[in-house]
Chain A
Amino acid sequence: MNTAWALIILPAVTGLCSLFIDSERLRKNLLVVVAFLHLYMSLQLCNGSAGELDGVWLGVDHLTRIFLTLTSLLFTGSAVYSMIYLDKHPHADGADLAGWQFLRNRNAIFVACMQLFLAAMSLAILSMHFGLQWIGIEATTLASTPLIYYHRNRRSLEAAWKYMIICSVGIALALMGVFFLAKTTTQHVQLFTPAGLVLFAGYLKLGWLKVAFIFFLVGYGTKMGLAPMHTWLPDAHSEAPSPVSAMLSGALLNCAFLGILRIYQVCVAIPATAAFASELLIIAGLVSMGFSGIFIMHQPDYKRMLAYSSVEHMGILATGIGLGGSAIAGALLHAICHSLIKAPMFLLAGNILSAFNTKKVEEVSGLLKSMPFTGMLWLAGFLAITGTPPFGTFISEFAILKAALQTRSWTTAGLYLLFLLIVFIGMLTIVMQMTLGRRPDDHADEHHHHNPAAKDHEQKHEKHHKHDAASAVSGSVIDEDLLQIMTPVIFLSLALILGFYLPEYVRQAINGGALLLGGAIL
């Protein structure tokens, strides 16, 4: 139990301290040390006794296991990455913020808020008490807003403001949901936790439970990025520094997702509400997938593309949970794979951004030649995120589809596949534009290749061919730092392994979680 509290308090304290540390190196090292410490402790906690600890405030069940391990793994990754990221952005003093001296150094704020962010997420994941969980999730918003505003320019300010307002409103509604949920039980709840409420399942007042679920769905759904409440997501993800985007998409969304899972856990205990909740979740999921499809097609900004892909995957998760049965296990597996793939994608996007310093897709090309590793990983990540075997996403998506067909919900299955296809096509077009072709420097004749008017462009290829091949091999290669590549490689290979081998630990966690949510084991 103490470990659990330590997991929350340690990063919080160190975070606050690092506001006042002056040496850049010390701060960064602290960040990494805390990350690894957190990872170590959370692994210990999760390997410990199964089921809940005392579970009034904090507790560890299978869902916690999945998301806690995932979060601190991702945090470690992006902490390591942000070492080099901060080197690339030497700390510049922001103008003074209305006289608060200690808020001047943006790198200090970055490091501090990263750790506070971790603390908040740990709280959100570990807390069993609905109120405590709400505090945690709200805290994540507060901790991450300064991170999004890291670059201190208009765009990032706008993104941060939108993020702040929309998420706070959403979360406020979730709080109302929490109050309603409290109302469902007999006046004074001893155990205001999912497990506690499930014990009372027979006596819960369905009317209030439904209202509560609606508020939870809208509130936490906003944070999770379910359409049409996802509107903050692309802005925040595209403007935030890459390691932060990685955390937002890989870990934060999961926390909000967990928030919804917790009340769903209560809902499934009662048949009537179970059907009600599933219906809403499936609708929300499909709508999100559709939205992301629309915006990924011809998306001019590759970080926004990743953001919308996150919206899509949140949609997949919601659909999977809503479908029930073996789809729930599939959804949980999918959550793991998505985090393991999306985070490195954002980090790679960071590499590309720092090399080409543009977020425009059409200004990036020939990655495979100019940044071979990043380019190859970018392609691999694309294949992984679109559910190409042997990556884990393939297994999870297939499991969800199978469940959809088993429950005879043809329209769901059809739309699900259609949206997956649209997203695939959209991302493929963008990724090919970025990775293939010549480097921008010898773009000159690229255009009159492209020129559709040229009737006999085939002939041109013949002419250009030799020279193309020559220019393809000649030319300089942008050097890539080991730290930039290592994290993505590790995460992607983990996602790859999940494709054909589920470690017993993961399998137990997933199956246990699925059972908690009234699903079938994988």
Chain B
Amino acid sequence: MNSIATLLALSCIFLLGSSRLLMSIRMVAFQGLLLGILPLAAAGDGHLSLALIFLSLASIALKSILLPWLLNKAMVDSGTRREIEPFISFGASMLLGLFLLAVSGWIVDKLQATEPVPSPVTLIAGFYLVFSGLLLLITRRKALTQTLGFLVLENGVFTAGLSLGSEFSVMVELGILLDVFVGIFLMGIMLFHIDREFDHLDADRFNELSDLEIAASPDEEVAE
């Protein structure tokens, strides 16, 4: 189980570093795969319920096949290949990623001080995925990469959930999966629209809506 968590963390560092969208998508798909087998590993010795297997298969199908395919299609249609230089350079964001790893380690350590958790490493990985997902969302310019970032974030949340060993009934888990799927699906559709409206996928260039301009100074200014 810890090994899977480690793999997840490494994949994140890779994501932070890579500039090629295709590679990033593949990496996220790989994360999905890992996440799919994580619950099986968590359940560990023997008592694998049918529901558990079904769930993990479903999540693998969604996260490592369907969604990557969708994003891939979006990427191809928009004809963007690689991420342009982000707000924070790739090297820097990798370093930042390492720092975040440390932070999440720290937090988990503090949390453990009060209540022990089954597998701290996985929890660390979970926090780390969440943080690096946020980092991707914050630093990357392409809307596509932001979608990836969001996926990473979700993966992080799931990892954390698994590490805490707090799983709900199948219905809830399925519902959660469905939500995530529809969410990413919608994002995918919007990516097409963005591509058509703006013919670029640079989210950092959407800032038409802001409160920077100010209304004409109102009545109280009028001199008597």
Contact = CB atoms under 8 A, between A and B. Distances in A.
A and B touch in the complex (CB under 8 A): yes
Interface in B46-97: 77
Interface in B181-203: 182-183, 186-187, 189-190, 192-194, 196-198, 203
Interface string A145-178: 1100100011101111110110011001101100
B157 A131 contact: no
Contact of B161 (A98, A158, A179): A179
A169 B187 CA distance: 13
A452 B165 contact: no
B220 A176 contact: no
Contact of A135 (B175, B197, B208): B175
A183 B119 CA distance: 13
Contact of B187 (A98, A164, A187): A164
- Secondary structure of the A side of the interface? helix
B190 A138 contact: no
Interface in A392-449: 429-430, 432-433
Given A161-B194, A433-B218, A135 B164 contact: no
A95 B196 contact: yes
B4 interface: no
A157 B215 contact: no
Contacts of A205: 114-115
Given A97-B189, A172-B157, A452 B223 contact: yes
B166 A183 contact: yes
A1 to B, nearest CB: 16
A183 B219 contact: no
Nearest to B210: A235
B176 A175 contact: yes
B150 A172 contact: yes
Given A164-B186, A172-B157, A179 B218 contact: no
A135 B179 contact: yes
B117 to A, nearest CB: 8
Contacts of B187: 164-165
B166 to A, nearest CB: 3
Given A155-B208, A192-B168, A298-B217, A176 B189 contact: no
A161 B143 contact: yes
Contacts, number: 145
Given A97-B189, A161-B190, A205-B114, A304 B208 contact: no
- Secondary structure of the B side of the interface? helix
A430 B143 CA distance: 36
A187 to B, nearest CB: 7
Contact of B197 (A154, A183, A211, A432): A154
Interface in A251-270: none
B26 to A, nearest CB: 22
Given A157-B194, A452-B222, A162 B182 contact: no
B206 A131 contact: no
B150 A169 contact: yes
Nearest to B126: A176
Nearest to A165: B146
Nearest to B192: A98
Interface residues of B, number: 55
Contacts of B193: 97, 149, 157
A146 B185 CA distance: 12
A142 B217 CA distance: 39
B175 A132 contact: yes
Contact of B206 (A149, A162, A234, A298): A162
B172 A176 contact: no
A449 B99 CA distance: 61
Contacts of A64: none
Contacts of B160: 176, 179
Contacts of A52: none
A98 B76 CA distance: 13
B157 A432 contact: no
A463 interface: no
Interface in A118-155: 129, 131-132, 134-135, 138-139, 141-142, 145-146, 149, 153-155
B219 A132 contact: no
A100 to B, nearest CB: 8
B166 A160 contact: no
Nearest to A455: B223
A450 interface: yes
A182 B164 contact: yes
Nearest to B172: A131
A389 B179 CA distance: 43
B84 to A, nearest CB: 18
Contacts of A279: none
Contacts of B126: 176
Contacts of B218: 298, 429-430, 433
21 contacts: A97-B189, A98-B189, A103-B189, A135-B178, A135-B179, A145-B190, A155-B209, A160-B190, A168-B150, A169-B137, A172-B153, A176-B130, A180-B164, A182-B168, A183-B166, A206-B114, A211-B111, A299-B211, A300-B215, A362-B215, A430-B218
Interface of A: 95, 97-98, 103, 129, 131-132, 134-135, 138-139, 141-142, 145-146, 149, 153-155, 157-162, 164-165, 168-169, 172-173, 175-176, 179-180, 182-183, 187, 192, 205-208, 211, 234-235, 238-239, 295, 298-300, 304, 361-362, 429-430, 432-433, 450, 452
Given A97-B192, A173-B130, A179-B161, 7 more contacts: A142-B182, A154-B208, A179-B157, A179-B164, A179-B166, A182-B161, A182-B164
